[in-house]
């Protein structure tokens, strides 16, 4: 399974970051999104992030130019079908992912590996929709992709050994570290992280501490680089809620019950940094706690 070309479905924060690291590693990348303006914004963001790497001395200017030259964009999903590896990085919604797989199916090469960047959904169930589950796998990149060193590799029950070895080798070529996670809800990182954030929201909900005090407590008392509520805003409160629901549904255990306050913020459309309001209000020069 020789992988030289990579297709990325979705040009949001995760998809653009995935395209960034693959192009720097020498792969030909096709970045697809249904919105042409989203593709333009993604290329601009990739260029800006590479400029930061050049400024830090971790990337040469000519390397940047070469990497950007290896990224092409398209709004036509079937064009990705001839890629050796396709990574789906659309919304954390099973129905949306199924639609992507259904549209891709008749256009893929027989040897194409299809991967999902899902942060919590069943790889076995997603792979079953593709009709070639032996060539399906989970590749969960961390956010922001160019900075974070870890990638969770999640084989489903039907994923072949050859597929697992091929994608593991690819991730190592990116200069990142892999961990192999079993196919259970939220895998390793989010199985631990998101319930921690949910507990922080409960701590706020029950009036035990303010937003600022909760975040300060974990930064200064547990040496966390970012407080849990600040981190929730960075991740997206809708994503945190979706993962908690996957955990709650998958294990049927009340310890994974999403905090009602988290659900209320999502209902309000206060999703964090991406909407400029979450547990903090980002519309001014300095973030201000909303409670």
Catalytic position from the list 23, 116, 122, 140: 140
Give catalytic status of residue 152 as yes or no.
Answer: yes
Given the residues 88, 92, 152, 230, select the one marked as catalytic: 152
CA-closest candidate to residue 131, choices 153, 154, 106: 106
- Going through 70-197 in order, the beta strands assigned E by DSSP cover 71-74, 85-88, 113-116, 136-141, 150-155, 177-180
Q: Catalytic one among 119, 120, 122, 198?
A: 119
Catalytic entry in 16, 23, 116, 190: 190
Identify the sign of the CA torsion 193, 271, 176, 179: positive
Compute the distance between CA of residue 177 and CA of residue 91 in angstroms, rounded to an integer.
Answer: 24
Cβ atoms within 10 Å of 175's Cβ, excluding its own: 10
Quote the tokens at residue 72: 């092409």
Residue 224 known to be catalytic: no
End-to-end CA distance of the chain: 52
Distance CA(87)–CA(16), nearest Å, equals 11
Active site amino acids:
119, 140, 152, 190
């Amino acid at each position: 399974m020789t992988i030289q070309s990579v297709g990325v479905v979705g040009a949001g924060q995760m998809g653009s970051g995935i395209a960034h690291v693959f192009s720097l590693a020498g792969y030909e990348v096709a970045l697809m999104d249904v919105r042409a303006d989203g593709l333009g914004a993604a290329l601009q963001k990739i260029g800006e992030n590479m400029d930061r790497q050049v400024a830090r001395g971790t990337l040469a200017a000519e390397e940047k130019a070469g990497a950007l030259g290896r990224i092409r964009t398209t709004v036509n999903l079937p064009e990705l079908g001839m890629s050796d590896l396709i990574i789906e990085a659309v919304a954390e919604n099973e129905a949306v992912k199924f639609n992507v797989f259904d549209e891709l199916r008749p256009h893929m090469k027989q040897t194409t590996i299809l991967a999902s960047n899902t942060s919590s959904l069943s790889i076995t169930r997603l792979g079953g929709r593709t009709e070639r589950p032996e060539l399906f796998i989970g590749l969960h990149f961390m956010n922001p992709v160019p900075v974070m060193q870890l990638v969770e590799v999640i084989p489903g029950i039907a994923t072949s050994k050859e597929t697992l070895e091929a994608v593991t080798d690819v991730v190592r070529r990116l200069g990142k570290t892999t961990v192999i996670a079993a196919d259970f809800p939220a895998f390793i990182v989010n199985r631990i992280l998101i319930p921690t954030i949910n507990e922080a929201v409960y701590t706020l909900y029950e009036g035990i501490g303010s937003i600022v005090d909760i975040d300060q407590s974990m930064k200064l008392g547990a040496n966390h680089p970012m407080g849990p509520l600040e981190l929730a805003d960075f991740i997206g409160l809708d994503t945190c809620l979706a993962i908690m629901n996957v955990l709650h549904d998958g294990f049927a255990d009340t310890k994974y019950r999403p905090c009602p306050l988290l659900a209320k913020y999502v209902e309000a459309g206060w999703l964090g940094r991406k909407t400029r309001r979450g547990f903090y209000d980002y519309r001014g020069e300095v973030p201000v706690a909303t409670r």
